[in-house]
A and B are shown apart, each in its own frame.
Chain A
Amino acid sequence: MAATAPTAQPDGGAGTPPSRRLGAALREFVRTGAPIRWLGRVGAVVPLLALALILILLIDRALPAIQFSGLKFLTGTTFNFGSQYGTPVKSQGIVHQPGEIFGALPEILGTLVTSAIALIIAVPVSIGAAMVIVERLPRQLASYVGLFLELLAGIPSVIVGLWGALTFGPFIAHDIAPVIADTLGKVPGLQGFFGGETGNGQGLLTSGLVLAVMIIPIIAATARDLIRGVPILPREGAVALGMSDWETARRVTLPWVGAGLIGAAVLGLARALGETIAVAMVCGVALGQLPTNLYASMVTIAANIVQNLNTAITDPLDIRAFAELALVLMVITLATNVLARLMVRRVSGTALPVGRGL
């Protein structure tokens, strides 16, 4: 390259063969940094295009199902793939198998409620774990615990699901559910949700706990990095003012990273909402059933899609209903993300987090 440069530089035209001129142009193109700029532009547009394309495609595929079910899709509680061996009938202008009804309320609620249970359990546990790792453990031990947390976050969900189905589910059914039913289930007003049949280890509680196990490492690892970033001065100041450890944590350390913690929780929530296989293995896949209590079998959108795709794919309308389910799931995750962003903005809006609440 160095050898050709002097000859190409002076005239840059008439005498040189076309291949060399092309090479020079290419080098000039590279020298100006244009490829990086173009790569950047393409990189910036691709995610946006992908999102738009998925949305458009899903809406297009879901249209017949939207026309068929209308608002009942969101409010109905019966979900039936229809009689595959029946004679097709026509309703709402669509020819379909008899018995097909798509009411997705149970699985929409199932998706939201399991994620909520997971978050309620995971957030305090994770923040507590992060605080302990940063402030209490000796540095050597903390690094090992941290490594362990990151390894835990990397466990494939199918393995967590298997553990949930074979070990954790029966344990919950025999040792945890009866205890909750005997305590919280006896409190007036809570009997309906916490009392009653304690099930066999497949259902709402197991799904929520399995999800919690999966998102704790994610939230805890993020929270640990955030808390480690809190400067020592404000904390020393708090101690100097005579605050206890608990007060320092509550009034100085945690408010300092409040926005980040919400971000960490949202990371976990996003994982919980979209988690498919682990939940599919422990939820009981109870199509079209609103869970009667905390222990009842239920279903999430993702679990329904993964377990029943093979039935749906051989029926023209069923697969459209699945496209609509996918659309709903996508809207839910997008909505939670937007909501979380708004919350982060509100929390980080205050100028100086230190001393808030004093």
Chain B
Amino acid sequence: MSIRFRTVCAAAALAPLALLAACGSSGSTAGSSASASAAPAASSGSGATTISETGSSLLFPLFGTWQAAYSTDVTDVTITSGSTGSGTGIADAATGTVTIGASDAYLSAAQTAQYKGLINIPLTVAAVMVNYNVPGIKAPLNLNGTVLAKIYLGKITNWNDKAIAALNPGVSLPNLKIITVHRADSSGSTFLFTSYLNAQDPADWPSSNIGTTITWPSAPGSLAETGSGGMVTGAGGAKGSIAYIGISYLAKTQAASLGEASLLNKGGKYTQATDASINAALATFSGSTPANGAQSLINTTAPTGYPIINYEYAIVKTTQPSASVAKALKAFLSWTITTGSDAKTLATVGFEPLPSNVLTIAQNEIKSIKS
């Protein structure tokens, strides 16, 4: 008994070590990973600079691609990334915990006042979809801000409600209870989605309910999920659910058999998020993007434009701790909006590149980073 027990104990003690070793050699596929191991030792060899990133789970799939591509080109810079939500991105960049905070939301005036020297640099253009789990419906459902607001308020509780039927003539809607799914954590997708609800229906959805964390109205049976991935899982597992999910999770929503709604824009038409509709919407805003990059791109007037799009931001401090970090950061950010934003890379996540004038704004902001 005692010898066997000792053997068991020894095995138990060794197991974590073995696990550690396994982690060290595995690839970077987890939610938070470092690409340090990918860098070959052939480079200069002297102290590598580390750029750390955390934040938006909408940007995360693209950031992972960037991380892998960049580390094969540049070997003396280590990039780490994390999918933690835009709120974390802003907070951690503000406190200096990370070099880059990724956010779907630009900095508010109050935040810029609170954290001096914090800037938001637009990197790319993303969109947020509205997805639903309603079996049997083939064509995309038409939805607008008013109906969505009433659904999330718990005033519309069944898919066969008159208000939904009115937007979808000829579609036979099932008698199925609606389950609203929203983010449990601090999220840029929540900010974009609630911005759209408020833009379309300020009476039902007041501006005090726009934010990365909001007080959700009491809708019976609603689900709260963490991260964009959690939204897909949550919505996929609950029949009758409705959710808002970043465009970079399109493939996953399709794998989970979720439908994607056509949303009403200010131009009075229903559109789905596509390259063309995102660019059409972008064209109505990009001309007036201010020099600090902070702009809402919600509810476009273009009839062919998709109404929930946004700039994905890198939140960084203009003053970096050392010259080497500042240099590496500037080089990396410049790379992401140029080489990193080629059509092939962005197509994998459904994002669009910055328009040329916004690219100039971003480059000017990157130039302002110093040590």
Q: Which A residues lie at the B interface, using CB under 8 A? A: 78-88, 97-99, 170, 197, 199-200, 202, 280-281, 284-289, 292, 296-297, 307-316
A99 to B213, CA, bound (A): 13
B335 interfacial by beta-carbon distance below 8 Å: no
- With A307-B186, A310-B91, A315-B110 known to touch, is A83 a contact of B223 (CB < 8 Å)? no
A49 to B274, CA, bound (A): 60
B87 touches A314 (CB 8 A): yes
A83 touches B207 (CB 8 A): yes
A23 to B25, CA, bound (A): 51
A58, chain B: closest CB distance, angstroms? 19
B179 interfacial by beta-carbon distance below 8 Å: yes
- With A79-B215, A292-B218, A314-B111 known to touch, is A297 a contact of B90 (CB < 8 Å)? no
- Set of chain B residues within 8 Å of A84, measured between Cβ atoms: 108, 110-111, 210-212
- Set of chain A residues within 8 Å of B208, measured between Cβ atoms: 80, 82-83, 86, 98-99
A170 to B207, CA, bound (A): 34
B75 interfacial by beta-carbon distance below 8 Å: no
Specify which of B94, B109, B224 lies most central, judged by the most chain A CB atoms within 10 Å of its CB: B224
A1, chain B: closest CB distance, angstroms? 37
B319, chain A: closest CB distance, angstroms? 19
- With A85-B108, A170-B237 known to touch, is A308 a contact of B114 (CB < 8 Å)? no
B328 interfacial by beta-carbon distance below 8 Å: no
Interface mask (B82-95 → A, CB under 8 Å = 1, otherwise 0): 00110110111011
- Set of chain A residues within 8 Å of B185, measured between Cβ atoms: 307-308, 310
- With A86-B208, A197-B221, A296-B220 known to touch, is A310 a contact of B90 (CB < 8 Å)? yes
A86, chain B: closest CB distance, angstroms? 6
B214 interfacial by beta-carbon distance below 8 Å: yes
- Set of chain B residues within 8 Å of A83, measured between Cβ atoms: 207-208, 210-211
- Set of chain B residues within 8 Å of A82, measured between Cβ atoms: 208, 211
- Which of A80, A197, A202, A308 contacts B223, CB < 8 Å? A202
Interface mask (B197-214 → A, CB under 8 Å = 1, otherwise 0): 000000000111111111
A88 touches B211 (CB 8 A): no
Q: Which residue of chain B is the closest to A80 with respect to CB atoms?
A: B215
B326, chain A: closest CB distance, angstroms? 24
- Which of A86, A170, A287, A314 contacts B215, CB < 8 Å? A287
Known: A170-B237, A310-B90, A311-B87. 6 other contacts (CB 8 A): A83-B207, A200-B238, A286-B222, A297-B222, A314-B91, A315-B114
A311 touches B212 (CB 8 A): yes
B224 touches A297 (CB 8 A): yes
- Set of chain B residues within 8 Å of A292, measured between Cβ atoms: 218, 220
B184 touches A313 (CB 8 A): no
A220 to B115, CA, bound (A): 50
- Set of chain B residues within 8 Å of A79, measured between Cβ atoms: 215
- With A78-B215, A202-B223 known to touch, is A97 a contact of B237 (CB < 8 Å)? no
Specify which of A83, A85, A286, A297 lies most central, judged by the most chain B CB atoms within 10 Å of its CB: A85
A170 to B241, CA, bound (A): 14
A310 touches B224 (CB 8 A): no
- Set of chain B residues within 8 Å of A311, measured between Cβ atoms: 87, 186, 211-213
- Set of chain A residues within 8 Å of B179, measured between Cβ atoms: 200
A272 to B95, CA, bound (A): 31
- With A83-B208, A85-B108, A170-B237 known to touch, is A308 a contact of B222 (CB < 8 Å)? no
A93 to B97, CA, bound (A): 32
A84 to B85, CA, bound (A): 16
- With A85-B108, A297-B224, A310-B88 known to touch, is A288 a contact of B207 (CB < 8 Å)? no
A281 to B209, CA, bound (A): 23
B108 touches A287 (CB 8 A): no
Q: Which residue of chain B is the closest to A296 with respect to CB atoms?
A: B220
- Set of chain A residues within 8 Å of B213, measured between Cβ atoms: 81, 287, 307-308, 311-312
A292 to B212, CA, bound (A): 26
A310 to B102, CA, bound (A): 13
- Set of chain B residues within 8 Å of A280, measured between Cβ atoms: 184
- Which of B110, B184, B209, B216 contacts A307, CB < 8 Å? B184
Q: Which residue of chain B is the closest to A284 with respect to CB atoms?
A: B224
B20, chain A: closest CB distance, angstroms? 16
- Set of chain A residues within 8 Å of B222, measured between Cβ atoms: 200, 284, 286, 297
A281 to B90, CA, bound (A): 23
- Which of B90, B206, B214, B216 contacts A314, CB < 8 Å? B90
A116 to B85, CA, bound (A): 32
A219, chain B: closest CB distance, angstroms? 25
A316 to B92, CA, bound (A): 15
A64 to B38, CA, bound (A): 49
A305, chain B: closest CB distance, angstroms? 12
Interface mask (B221-240 → A, CB under 8 Å = 1, otherwise 0): 11110100000000001100
A to B CB contacts below 8 Å, 17 in the list = A80-B208, A80-B209, A82-B208, A83-B207, A83-B210, A99-B207, A170-B237, A200-B222, A281-B226, A284-B222, A285-B224, A289-B216, A297-B224, A309-B91, A310-B85, A310-B90, A313-B94
- Set of chain B residues within 8 Å of A288, measured between Cβ atoms: 215
B159, chain A: closest CB distance, angstroms? 16
- Set of chain B residues within 8 Å of A197, measured between Cβ atoms: 220-221
Specify which of A170, A200, A287, A316 lies most central, judged by the most chain B CB atoms within 10 Å of its CB: A200
A199 touches B221 (CB 8 A): yes
- Set of chain A residues within 8 Å of B110, measured between Cβ atoms: 84, 88, 97, 315
B56, chain A: closest CB distance, angstroms? 12
A88 to B110, CA, bound (A): 8
A308 touches B186 (CB 8 A): yes
B132, chain A: closest CB distance, angstroms? 15
A89 to B18, CA, bound (A): 57
A105 to B249, CA, bound (A): 37
- With A197-B220, A296-B220, A311-B211 known to touch, is A285 a contact of B94 (CB < 8 Å)? no
- Set of chain B residues within 8 Å of A296, measured between Cβ atoms: 220
- Set of chain A residues within 8 Å of B215, measured between Cβ atoms: 78-81, 287-288
